[in-house]
Amino acid sequence: MNASTNPAMNAAIDDSARDGLFGPSPLGVLNVGLSGFAGAVEAAGGRVSPVAWRPPAGADPDRAWRLAVALSDAEVAAANATAVAAFLAADPVLVDVSAAATAIAALGGGARRLLHAGPPIDYADMCGPMQGALVGAVLFEGWAGDPDAAEALLRGGAVATEPCHHHGAVGPMAGVVSPSMPMWVVEDRSSGRHSFSSLNEGLGAVLRFGANGPEVLDRLAWMRDELGPVLASTLRLTRSGEAGGLPLRPIMAQALHMGDEVHNRNAAATGLLVRRLLPDLLASGAPVAALGRVATFIGGNDHFFLNLSMAACKAMLRAAEGVPHSTMVTTMARNGVQFGIRVSGAGDRWFEAPAPVVDGLFFPGFGPQDAAADLGDSAITETAGLGGFAMAAAPAIAQFVGGTPADAVANSRRMQRIGIGRNPAFTLPPLGFAPTVAGIDVRRVLDGGVLPVINTGIAHRAAGVGQIGAGITTAPMGCFLAAFDALFPASGS
Amino acid sequence: MIVRWGVASDCYRDSVALLAVSARLAASAGVSRASVAMATPANVAAAVDAGAAGPLDAGPSDVLVLVVADSEEAADAALADGLAALTATIDPAVGGSGSGGEEPATCIADALARSPGGHAPSVALISVPGPFAAAEARKALDAGLHVMIFSDNVPVEAEVALKALGRSRGLLVMGPDCGTAILDGTPLAFANVVRRGPVGLVGASGTGLQEVSTQLDRLGIGVSQLIGTGGRDLSPAVGGSSTLDALLLLGADPATQVVVVVSKPPDAAVARRVLEVAGSLGKPVVAVLLGTDVAAVAPAGVYGAATLAEAARLAARLAEAPAADRGGFVATGLGGPVAAIPGGPDAAGLAAALGGAAVTAATAAASAHGVRDDRPRRWLRGLFSGGTLGYEAQLVLRGLGVTVASNAPAPGSVRLGAGAGLEGHVVVDLGADEFTDGRPHPMIDPATRDRWVAEALEDPTVAVVLLDVVLGHGASGDPLAGLLPLLVARRSGPDVVVHVCGTDADPVPRRAVVDALRRAGALVAPSNAAAAELAAERLMAPERQP
């Protein structure tokens, strides 16, 4: 028996001969459970690493065991390394602005189809802002003459609705995209794949909060007829330059060092964007009056860069999709009713849970009773390690969403606990220029119970009222539990 | 009676924290009952049974607070107090507003990420609820840590799988249901403060290991390692996996000169394997496998001992003897009466307790062949917090002709029928599952034990009450709070015989406990086996007044 049957044990004995029999001295004890056991260890000179344990994996013992096995699964580790490498290798470059009907095949050919934010949902089940935005889009496309007729088309299915995410696109809040809207076209240089987002309308009465009056439709028409074409001409010049377009990662990286987290604060990034586009904008041949209106519009909207940030994040995350066995989250999105995620190793499946109500600061005259549940595709920024994950970089936004700079730092630190890798392209100055999270790991969300934090605006529950506040929310655990069960099914199920 | 309940959502608290809040509410004015527990299906059902009306929308990550009181005001106040106490601490997974410091780790991976390089822990102590313990142990093993699983209620298949995994990686898995360890001088869970020295202990019996280590300490001999392996390790299913690995570790440990292996009765085949490996270590091994005649099966170099105290004495002599002389030892008096050690630290105390007389084989034999005792006070009540101590007491009593009934019967004892009245000689293991479901173990909170003692002292048929008091880390900080008043108050009644398992260096020093008990009229024996003998002696004592 002695030496031969258990070589590993003998190796351990040899190793430990340098110090104590059970490890380096003083003994280090990981205390998982009753905190009272720490005192005796410390009294004897031992070192305690405490775990403030809580039941993992949704407090389901069977899933907890599957999680423990999955956490050490070499195949998963390799798959996640592949997915993260693809995410980091993606190089999103702004190359064009073109009509959605041109950019997105499903919206071309005269199809009466609209895109919306979040996971799939029937029109009848949608929240107020999303219904209002879709009605506005039908009116904008001229498919109906008045809101009632538009609603009838939507209810009857004569106008189809599908998630933006099913077509490589993303949109903030209601996220509604119609064929004639101008879209940012972002090319991932590592794959040649294009991702898309709408152009930001600014604040006030806007389609993305469900407003669909004449003011909203007039603005959309101007964006279609003037803003889109001017930007397209501009980007034609930019595309002919050395970089073949406008690389977005450097702008985002720089903005993180200038107080943006490129979700709820885009002031710096918008300025950087304008500075980079300005020469080509002036050279685009657009009439001075048109340039003036474009400049006024962009200059009046601190969030103009948001949609580009979203498209860039979408491009990076698409690169990580479809890696078998990978537990990396590739989508987080909300439709105002359901919160949905998609995971690299589970293909195109959505894993959903009810969208949370956002806790935050409300504008005067509004309160939680007025709020729609969490809404929009903008959580793609958090999925890419930005937004709430990068909040440490944006102390100014912490106050806007009802927190302190210390909270912002704590949030970013906490999010690092659920990351697979780190993204050296994006760094956070207040954390000593620590790299941001590269890839949320479903397993790690289940293990420590730390949920992805999301910085977001709060929409009024009724269509068209607009933004009534901003705050912080978290992705619901139910999505991650369902995704985990799909990847690591219970035996017998 | 007014019943009130409330839920603290997504608020996991460990059992000790829950019991603390529970005790606080129960002590509130007007409250007759309070329960603070995780809202598992069983606990929710129990709350409904207790009269909690309405939909109880709570899950296992929520805390359910139930209060039964004699007025609405009292019930509402206690409920509010309980919920406030639970939510006073910040949820570590969510963080707190403006908290500048680092948030606590909520999983093993997080904790390890914060302990890089040379500061990484090498042992994991796992005391989470049983259904989750195997998963945490698996994570710790995957991280390269030895594992001690304090939790019970872990499926045996999981234990087998974890121990196989640990063995394949050169890692020791102690437990599940492992209550004690001292690794490299560091106490884990329930352990006494004993000096370090040349004797390595391994065993599937928590209080058995505590008894041997404290007896060694009082003989001036220290412990190199004390390795608990879990109550099921020597079962056929587990096959002694951890005990065998621990023996090899101690065999190879240069600081260990003598090994003691301790167990309640193991599976016979497993016991043979353990003794075979023990005989191959190249150093002397003392085996006390309670209820097993070790001498009959032990190979050369393995010495059998009948009691825990005897094992300690034997190990002490082996540790003190020059190596060349060790071959001369012969296992002593298996199953026979245990004599007080001449010159031993407590010999004087024992002699005094016995009123100058030594326990003799003759006394025992006389009782064994049954002079019928028809005095009104004639029964023994053994009330134990240490499972192995109660078990050993049964064997010693049996050896002296006193047959007992027990809820945890040793060979030769009768199983105590559920619900039957206490008739005859009885030894109760108050740490058994039926007494600890939803209540603290009597080593932590002796209240349950004290209620049984109070009852036994009142019982006109009881002649002797036999107790253990287990000291050390993890044990009650005031073990006599309820017991002393009971002893001091009485004018007559049964003899009370106590063994105090501990050392003078323990957080509650043994000497102080012994002195207080003696002042209160209890007879304190120097070891658990000696206490059982003394109890048997008092049972037969002709001078005892009916």
What average pLDDT does range B176-191 have in this prediction? Answer: 95
Q: What is the pLDDT of residue B126?
A: 97
Q: What local confidence, expressed as pLDDT, does residue A371 receive? A: 92
CB B111 within 8 A of CB A50: yes
| CATH number of the domain to which A474 belongs | 3.90.1700.10
Find, in chain B, the residue whose alpha carbon is nearest to that of A416. Answer: B110
- CATH 3.40.50.261 region(s) of chain B? 111-328, 347-540
Q: Between 3.40.50.261, 3.40.50.720, 3.40.50.2300, 3.40.630.30, what CATH number should domain B111-328 receive?
A: 3.40.50.261
Q: How confident is the model at residue B341 (pLDDT cuts 50, 70, 90)?
A: very low
* A1 and chain B in contact, CB less than 8 A: yes
User: Could you tell me the pLDDT band of residue B236, with boundaries at 50, 70 and 90?
Assistant: very high
Instruction: Report yes or no on A315 lying in a domain.
Output: no
Residue B509: predicted pLDDT? 97
Residue A461 in any domain: the answer is: yes
Distance between CA B395 and CA B471 in Å, rounded?
Answer: 23
How far is C-alpha B209 from the chain's CA centre? 9
- How far is A333 from A86, CA to CA, in rounded Å? 21
- Which residue range is the domain that position A406 belongs to? 70-88+321-487
- pLDDT of B33 reads 86
Question: Would you call A37 and B127 a contact, using CB atoms and an 8 Å cutoff?
Answer: yes
**Cβ–Cβ of A23/B128 closer than 8 Å?**
no
**Whether residue A156 sits in one domain with residue A305:** yes
Quote the tokens at residue B427.
């030894």
pLDDT in tens, A115-125: 999 999 999 99
**What are the strands of the beta sheet with A47-51, ordered from one edge?**
A47-51, A28-32, B123-126, B146-149, B173-174
Q: Are B82 and B29 in contact (CB under 8 A)?
A: no
Q: Is residue A127, in this structure, part of any structural domain at all?
A: yes
pLDDT of residue B382: 97
Residue B546 predicted with pLDDT over 50: no
Whether residue A2 and residue B121 make contact (CB cut-off 8 A), yes or no, is no
Does residue A65 form part of some domain? Answer: no
In this prediction the pTM is: 0.87
Do residues A386 and A412 both lie within one domain?
Answer: yes
pLDDT tens-digit profile of B117-144?
Answer: 667 899 999 999 999 999 999 999 999 9
Q: Contacts of residue B12 in chain A, CB cutoff 8 Å?
A: 53-55
Distance from CA of A127 to the nearest CA of B (A): 26
Give CA–CA dist B175/B72, Å, rounded: 46
What's the pLDDT score for residue A377?
98
Q: A97 pairs with which residues across the strands?
A: A184
Count of domains forming chain A = 3
Rounded Cα gap, residues B225 and B196, in angstroms: 8
Per-residue pLDDT of chain A (493 residues; tens, 9 = 90+): 343 345 445 444 444 435 789 998 889 999 999 988 999 999 999 999 999 999 999 999 999 999 999 999 999 999 999 999 999 999 999 999 999 999 999 999 999 999 999 999 999 999 999 999 999 999 999 999 999 999 999 999 999 999 999 999 999 999 999 999 999 999 999 999 999 999 999 988 899 999 999 999 999 999 999 999 999 999 999 999 988 999 999 999 999 999 999 999 999 999 999 999 999 999 999 999 999 999 999 999 999 999 999 999 999 999 999 999 999 999 999 999 999 999 999 999 999 999 998 878 888 889 889 999 999 999 999 999 999 999 999 988 887 777 788 889 999 999 999 999 999 999 999 999 999 999 999 999 999 999 999 998 899 999 888 888 888 899 999 999 999 999 999 986 5
Least CB-CB distance to A12: which of B108, B158, B170? B170
Give the residue among B244, B137, B185, B544 at the shortest CA–CA distance from A45.
B185
Check residue A493 and give its pLDDT.
56
Where b means 16+ CB within 10 Å and e means fewer, B394-422 reads bbbbbbbbbebbbbbbbeebeebeeeeeb
Using alpha carbons only, how large is chain A's radius of gyration in Å?
Answer: 25
Domain containing residue A189: CATH number? 3.90.1710.10
Contact (CB, 8 A) for A337 and A455: no
Is some CB atom of chain A closer than 8 A to the CB atom of B455?
Answer: no
Q: Which of A1, A5, A9, A62 has the highest number of chain B CBs within 10 A, making it the mutation to test binding with B? A: A9
Q: Looking at the structure, tell me whether residues A218 and A300 fall in a common domain.
A: yes
Q: Distance between CA A335 and CA A120 in Å, rounded?
A: 8
Per-residue pLDDT reduced to its tens digit, B507-531: 999 999 999 999 999 999 999 999 9
A53:B12 CB<8 A: yes
Do A419 and A456 reside in the same domain of the chain?
Answer: yes
A49 vs B102: CB contact, 8 Å cut-off?
A: no
User: Around B17, how many Cα atoms within 13 Å sit in the side-chain half-sphere?
Assistant: 22
* Least confidently predicted of B87-101, B233-247, B315-329: B87-101
Given CA atoms B278, B282, B288, B292 in this order, what sign does their dihedral have? positive
Residues A359 and A462 reside in one and the same domain = yes
CATH topology of domain B347-540: Rossmann fold (3.40.50)
Domain-located, residue A58: no
Q: Which of A287, A310, A333 is the last residue of a domain?
A: A310
Do the domain assignments include residue A62? Answer: no
CA distances from A8 to A57, B81, B249 (A): 32, 53, 11
The arrangement of strands across the sheet holding B258-263 comes to B186-189, B180-183, B223-228, B196-203, B258-263, B285-289, B302-304
Judgement on whether residues A339 and A412 belong to the same structural domain of the protein:
yes
Instruction: Give the pLDDT of residue B462.
Output: 94
Query: What single-letter amino acid sits at B309?
Result: A
Which positions in chain A touch B184 (Cβ < 8 Å)?
20-23, 25-27
In a domain, A440, yes or no: yes
The domain made up of B2-87 is a member of CATH 1.10.10: no
> Are A246 and A326 part of one and the same domain?
no
Q: Is the CB of A152 inside 8 Å of chain B's CB atoms?
A: no
Q: A342 with A281, same domain?
A: no
Flag whether residue B146 sits within 8 Å of chain A, measured between CB atoms. yes
- pLDDT for the residue numbered A359: 75
Same domain, A204 and A280: yes
Domain final position from A255, A282, A310: A310
In a domain, A492, yes or no: no
Average pLDDT over residues B86-95: 57
Run of H or E residues at A96: strand A92-99
What is the per-residue pLDDT for A454?
94
- Cross-chain Cβ contact A53/B99 below 8 Å: no
